[in-house]
Structure 1
Amino acid sequence: MYSSDLEVFAQALEWLKQGQSAVLVTVVKTWGATPRTVGAILAVRGDGSMVGFVSSGCVEEDLAKQVQANAFTHPTVIKYGITSAQNQQIGLSCGGQIELLIEPLTQLEQIQPAVAALEHRQLIQRQVDLNSGQVDWAEGATATTDFFYDGHQFRCRYGPIWRLLIIGAGQIARYVAEFAQALNYQVIICDPRQEYAIHWAVKDTQLDHRMPDDAVKALVQDERSAVITLTHNPNLDDLALWEALPSPAFYVGALGSKATNDGRRQRLLELGITETTLQRLHAPIGFPIGSRSPPEIAIAILAELTAVRNHVHHRNFISSRTESSLRE
């Protein structure tokens, strides 16, 4: 599975290798309500074919027409939604405004470094001089911000696809896996129990038969990873959490009631996990939305995962948890 950025870069690279013309479109500024945030990308082939998106469809149609007319021969900044007349003409019903950087793609080097880095789960930074069109890449992306734009220089940091490691191949895991893929996660299911793993059949997921601690050590190596445990079996869940909590994973969560969680925390302390590290554990897992059925529990889990991933403050959700939020 590709991340959305990798999908755009990889397709644009393939078009260039085929000798076809294309442009790369990047959202560099937004005002008000807009479908995409800064850094979102779109590639448009010379015949109007597209991959990625920068709006809900209204802007893409206009861009395709301009690309087909060969309107972009050098880096160009254009704005949409600036006037009510333009809103009506192009159909920006959201009422927001966006500023786009349009770059004609003429060399493989404009795209190739991104594809190579993202395929190897590495961060990479792209910098563009809007006056000269010069594109520079920096592996590792050591800049302190993910995005910078001042009208003259544009800089954006790209990372690999988000990875979700689920411990346990039960019914809840099935819905979590299906919903997570829609949120652009690469989903890996770890369950050494044959009686569970043999029935796993969620398309486009990877099944790992290793013990959970071994799977975490092998697969959780960067901050674009998350681990959740769903087995209710301490012999499996605790092993995974013992490795996951000190890892770079941006989210570590465990299913179970408050009583189950209290016992789990005590066991992890006895295994040597520090109080500070244990504070990273999201348990009981998920937002308290009155979940009962497996699909509802999956929604609650992914809602919390999304909030953490997007750096959204959600203390009110945590403080209002009750033991009935997610029961065993």
Structure 2
Amino acid sequence: MTEAAHDRIPEIALDWHRAGRGAVLATVLETWGSAPRQAGSQLAISGTGEIMGSVSGGCVEGAVVTEALEALADGRPRLLTFGVSDETAFAVGLACGGTIRVLVEPVGDGPSALPPGLLADLVAARAAPRAVAYEIIPASWTRRLLAPGQDAAADARFRADRSGVEEDGRFLAIHNPPLRLIVVGAVHIAQPLLAIARLCGYAPTLIDPRAAFGSAGRFSGETILDDWPDEALAALAPDGRTAIVTLTHDPKLDDPAIRFALRSPVFYLGCLGSKKTHASRVGRLTEAGFSESEIARIHAPVGLAIGAKSPAEIAVSIMAQITAALRQG
């Protein structure tokens, strides 16, 4: 899947710098009120005034570009604070205004500029893809990259998917790998579930070796794998940003996927079926050598108990439970 340009701001800034066009990264550090863009949102500015991305939805981009060009000229970063009035916000299609603080960093070799090597390391981590936090201390303009497990505050922000300023003044910009949803079973519930997942920012993949079920006609435009579930999962290499849902009701298809998922770092595993069906599933997994704590990772019956009846309602309940596991787990 091609990554949209507005999601490639660090990459674009690095390309501009390497091409000799000059590059500046502007990043939202903090917001107050109803500011239109959240912390971590970025705008890249070239030395000729080209821009990609956004820090305010259009309210203050002009002022940021002016400051960025000055930063590129003197090689010094700066912190900017903007108050966006309700009237200004409304003029660019926003409901109301707020206040934002923006960090402007020229890419270069100056003593306080953003080092090109560090930006290249960030881009490489994003390409891997590998979770990484970009830490900057504005008081000293010191910077470093943090991996999961190196810093408690960064780890909390990795889990929450939320960039921001810590109490000690340092800013942590979180760059997580893309979210993925892997669905085993091209049944009727899978159709709305894949659509809802995509709207929630997931890259969905459907697995079903049964050609009649996993057809392009039933799932137009979706990524469909017709391998056996455990083989397909091994190729997909699910990670801690992956959710897996099994929907077939057929142990021959569901069980291989469940066994693989239980020994993987996925953050969510949900399985369709009644309590009776799940009890039988637990028995099979126990006989296969899985521990009680491993089996307890399974959300079954899948989805939040909201009284869902139709395929679309069940898909909503599943996506809600996945969201809860991601944000609150």
TM-score normalised by structure 2 residue count: 0.78
Contact kept? 1:213, 1:239, Cα under 8 Å: yes
Find the residue that maps to 1:122 and give its secondary structure: coil
Q: Which consecutive residues of structure 1, in runs of 5 or more, have no partner in the other structure?
A: 313-328
State how far apart, in whole Å, the 2-side matches of 1:18 and 1:300 are.
Answer: 48
Go from structure 1 to structure 2 and tell me whether the alpha carbon gap of 1:232 and 1:187 turns closer, same or farther (over 3 Å shift). Answer: same
| Secondary structure at 2:173 match in 1 | strand
Cα deviation for residue 252 of structure 1 reads 0.6
* Aligned residue number for residue 326 of structure 1: none
Aligned residues: 304
Quote how far apart the aligned CAs of 1:240 are: 0.9
- How far, CA to CA, are the matches of 1:4 and 1:66 in structure 2? 19
Number of the residue aligned with 1:143: 151
Identify which range, 167-176 or 229-238, moves more after superposition. 167-176
Per-residue deviation at 1:86? Answer: 3.6
Residue 229 (structure 1) shift? 0.7
For 1:280, the equivalent position in structure 2 comes to 297
Q: 2: distance between equivalents of 1:296 and 1:3? A: 30
Partner of 2:160: none
Identify the residue that residue 23 of structure 1 maps to in structure 2.
24
Residue of structure 2 aligned with 1:235, choices 216, 236, 252:
252
Query: AA paired with 2:277?
Result: T
Report the CA distance between 1:243 and its aligned residue. 1.6
Partner AA of 2:240 in structure 1: E
Change over 3 Å in CA distance of 1:299–1:72 after alignment to 2? farther
Rate the CA distance shift 1:67–1:214 in 2: closer, same or farther, 3 A.
Answer: same
CA RMSD in angstroms comes to 3.1
Q: How does 1:1-328 map onto structure 2 within 5 Å?
A: 1=1, 2=3, 7-32=8-33, 36-45=37-46, 47=49, 49-51=51-53, 53-55=54-56, 57=57, 60-68=58-66, 70=69, 72-73=71-72, 74-81=76-83, 86-91=85-90, 93-94=95-96, 96-106=98-108, 108-131=116-139, 133-138=141-146, 142-146=150-154, 148-149=165-166, 153-199=170-216, 201-203=219-221, 205-311=222-328
- Structure 1 residue matching 2:321: 3-state secondary structure: helix
- Structure 1 residue 221: Cα displacement: 4.3
User: In 2, Cα distance between the equivalents of 1:96 and 1:273?
Assistant: 52
Q: Structure 1 CA distance, aligned partners of 2:169 and 2:130?
A: 27
Instruction: Answer yes or no: is the 8 Å Cα contact 2:137–2:169 preserved in 1.
Output: yes
Q: Please state how far the C-alpha of 1:223 moved relative to its aligned partner.
A: 1.0
Deviation for aligned residue 1:300: 1.9
- Given the superposition, is the C-alpha separation of residues 96 and 293 from structure 1 closer, same or farther in structure 2, using an over 3 Å criterion? farther
User: Residue 85 of structure 2 contacts residue 98 of structure 2 at CA under 8 Å; is this kept in 1?
Assistant: no
What is the letter of the counterpart of residue 7 of structure 1?
Answer: R
Distance 1:296 1:35, change over 3 A: farther
> 1:108: Cα distance to partner?
3.8
SS of the residue 1:242 aligns to: helix
CA contact (8 A) 2:37 2:55 kept: yes
Instruction: Please list the CA deviations of residues 212-267 of structure 1 after superposition, one character each: whole Å capped at 9, or x if unmatched.
Output: 12233343442111111111211111211112123211111112233333332333
* CA-CA distance at 1:290 after TM superposition: 3.4
Percent of aligned pairs sharing the same letter: 33
Inter-partner Cα distance in structure 2 for 1:15 and 1:119? 18
